[in-house]
Amino acid sequence: MAIRTIDAVTTWGGEAVALHAGTAAEYIEGGDVLVLPNLPFETASEERSLLTASASDGHSKNISFDPATGRLDDCAFTGRERERLARMLGRFVHHAGALIDGLLPRYRPTRAPSLASYRPIEIEDRPTTVKQDDTRLHVDAFPVRPMAGGRILRVFTNINPDGAPRVWDIGEPFERVVQRFLPLVPRYSPFGAWALEWRGRTRGRRTEYDHVMLSLHDLCKLDAGYQATCDKTRVEFRAGWTWMCYTDQVSHAALAGRYVLEQTIVVPVSAMADPERAPLRVLERALNRRLGRPRRPGRVRGL
């Protein structure tokens, strides 16, 4: 696991980006974080007023945006400001999609459209429970939308107008997380998964893969000793930088910063250049059995 930088990517798509496709796929599928320090997301002067913590209605740490409908959730803005934010996020979604299509063209036919988010609240100020506390190292897993093996690829960009960085810790490789916490994962209950779906707590049936990934997410965060002692690397993503990684594979903690845009892209394991690197396959090798057939997941909601 490493921080990899490609300085030469300066546009959100096109031939100049496609030149780096092979390198980018190797980094991303290898579990690295790819940083593009010369790829800022430009905001227009009339969008600067959107960069305020009061954009949030206080119910959630993020404002979510559904590119299919233009809907914003957990946003306090009304009227023109709300429309302006939706337009800005729509532009970011378009840019992020073009970037992924350029850098990871083999994902293009199967990548699923997903929600984007705007993160206007300073991480350090956010009250939260331990399991929701993203300042603790974790791998991403969705409690509401089962992924059934599908990958969580995320593109971030820091648009902080004051120049403050987004600060992450990057933890140990996924295989080491699995080695440490897999023996502690409680037994999967197909009935429990059915009941969660029946009660509307999940959108679709939680598979054993989802159960294990959620358990790894929780076990990492709940283990104070692990958080204090495990190997980690501090990274500062500066304002104007864009970065991406598979957050279901890269152990990460977001420590500080605000005014970050994020786009989630769901990638089927079968679309990967090397599916054996997917968490699904890593877990199956560790357990020496299949975790259910991966299927193409639906759109991601309720992250």
Footprint of Fe ion on this chain (CB under 5 A)? 140
> Least CB distance from residue 252 to Fe ion, whole Å?
6
Closest distance to Fe ion from the beta carbon of 256 (Å)? 14
Minimum CB distance to Fe ion smaller for 102 or for 221 = 221
Q: Can you tell me the distance from the alpha carbon of 103 to that of 168, in angstroms, rounded to the nearest whole number?
A: 23
By beta-carbon proximity to Fe ion, the closer residue of 140 and 208 is 140
DSSP secondary structure of 20-59: THHHHHHHHHTTPEEEETT------GGGGGG-SGGGB-SS
First to last CA, the chain: 25
The minimum distance between CB 140 and Fe ion, in angstroms, equals 4
CB of 156 to Fe ion, least distance (A): 11
Taking the least distance from each CB to Fe ion, the nearer of 207 and 251 is 251
With respect to Fe ion, which residue has the nearer C-beta, 3 or 18? 3
CA distances from 302 to 60, 94, 102, 143, 225 (A): 11, 21, 28, 9, 30
CB 280 within 8 A of CB 294: yes
Of residues 154 and 277, the one with the C-beta less far from Fe ion: 154
What contacts 183, CB < 8 A, 6 or more positions away? none
Q: CB of 142: closest distance to Fe ion in angstroms?
A: 10
CB of 140 or CB of 218, closer to Fe ion: 140
Phi-psi region of 230 (alpha: psi -120 to 50; beta: other; left: phi over 0): beta
Q: How far is the CB of 139 from Fe ion (least distance, A)?
A: 8
Distances (CA, A) of 113 to 4, 37, 81, 127, 154: 26, 25, 25, 30, 12
